[in-house]
Structures are given as C-alpha cells and as structure tokens.
Amino acid sequence: MTRIDAKFARLKAEGKKAFVSYVMAGDPDFDTSLELVKGLPAAGVDVIELGLPFTDPMADGPTIQLAGQRALDRGMTLDRTLDLVRAFREADTETPIVLMGYYNPIYSRTVPKFLEQAKAAGIDGLIVVDLPPEEDEELCIPAQAAGLNFIRLATPTTDDKRLPKVLQNTSGFVYYVSITGITGAAEAQATDVGPEVARIKAQTDLPVIVGFGIRTPEAAETIASVADGCVVGSAIVGELASGKSVSEVLAFVKGLADGAHRA
C-alpha cells in the first residue's frame, strides 16, 4: 500500500473528502518552493501534486507555464526537484507526493534510473500527461512494479468506449479533468461534473478527484461534494506569482482545503 492508498483509505474511514494542491517545484526559486511545500500539510492539504518544470508543457495554461519557466530560469532540474522532495521528507514521512509532468525528462534519465531515484527520494505517484494508455509498457507498468501509483486523467471527452482503457492500469486515484482545454481556462460546474464522476465510479473502485477550474473555497466545497475530493493548481500558483508571501499563499490554500473538507 502506497502513501496515496493509505491516505484515501483513512479519508474514507473518516467520511472526508480529499484536498489535493498543485505547486510547481522551484517556483519562484528552490528555497521559497520548499518552504511552501513544507507548509502545505498544516494548511490542510491531503496530497501534494508537485509539478516537474518542462520546456514544452502543452497541457498547461499560461499560469502554470509561466511558473515552470520561472523555475527553469532559476536552475530547476529533475535532480533539484528530487532534492526538494528529499528535503521535504526529512520532516514529513506521511503526506503523499505525486510528481506531475511530461515524459521527456524521464525518458532522458531512463525509466529504471528515474524510478529508482524517485522512489528513494520519497515520491509516491506519477501523473505523466503525454503518455496514453497505449504506452503503458513504457512507464506505467514499470512504475507500479516499483511501488509507485500511476494516476491517469479522464476528461469530458473520455467516452464509455475509451474509459475502460484509461482505467485499465490506473492506481491511486483517477484525476477527472472537469473542463475541456488547458489548466486555468474555465470554471468547473458541479452540475456537469457530478454525472461524469458517477459514470467513472461505475467502472472503478478508485477515488475520483476533480481538477481544473476550481478557484474558491465555495467551488472546492461544491466540486468535492460530487466527487471524492478536488485539486487546485492554477489558483494557488497564481497567488504566489502575484507576489504574495508564503504565509499568505498558505492561508489561501487553507481556505480552499477547508472548503473541500466541508463537502
């Protein structure tokens, strides 16, 4: 059982919804990023999604693209991202961390070496947005053999014919993308999301967590109420980009987490 599995089992036993936060590793610099990540669990974050900076982030909207560019400009790399995770794990051995990014840096490292290093650093799961289920032998199956969850995205365009393929080797949780398009592009609507979550849950026992388009505590509560929890990324990254201090960003995160936990 991974930390992710254990966390969702505990939340289910407590009758609570999950709050997942996304932040970009190294944005705006290594030390600030580490301080922010270290503060997330106390702000109510159940699972940390950590972005791996990449030069061509095709699924990300402007807010997260700019965060990745800031991190790259300050020298953030895959190795430094793993350093950040190791530093976080010195004080926190319980909060799950999901590394979210693109396949190119992993491919360049080689899959066996990357998985060994990621597991040793304290990463619990992966979201790799540019590897479809047809490429499961490439990373998904080796990752799960190494003890890492491989989390897959389902979207409004994932029809009933495609959904079983998407769910086939997914573990940890299913990430339902509430809108069609890039991150930060529109607002999620519970009336649209609820039936889609039910459709997915009819085919899997995994928790379904909804992301994209959630910016307020009220939205977090509303969306979490029709799913097993919610993810917020662009809104948090945007707060940091606006010049807010780490403590101010964490206060914003706490509001979102409280909203999700009220659901």
- Choosing from 27, 49, 136, 228, the catalytic residue is 49
Compute and round to an integer the Cα radius of gyration of the chain.
Answer: 17
pTM comes to 0.96
The total number of structural domains in the chain stands at 1
Q: Is 60 a catalytic residue?
A: yes
Identify whether 49 is a catalytic site residue. yes
Instruction: Give the residue numbers spanning the domain of 126.
Output: 3-262
So what's the pLDDT on residue 247? 98
Instruction: Considering the candidates 46, 60, 124, 221, report the single residue annotated as catalytic.
Output: 60
What is the domain-level CATH number for residue 258?
Answer: 3.20.20.70
Q: If we measure between CA atoms, which residue out of 122, 120, 133 comes closest to residue 168?
A: 133
Instruction: Give, in order, the Cα–Cα distances in Å from 210 to each of 21, 81, 179, 218, 224.
Output: 11, 25, 10, 14, 7
- As given in the structure block, the two tokens for residue 92 are 């926190």
Q: What is the pLDDT of residues 184-215, one digit of tens each?
A: 556 777 788 999 999 999 999 999 999 988 99
Reported as a single tens digit per residue, the pLDDT across 24-45 is: 999 999 999 999 999 999 999 9
Which stretches of the chain drop beneath a pLDDT of 70?
180-186
What pLDDT, on the 0 to 100 scale, is given for residue 180? 64
Two tokens at 226?
């029709």
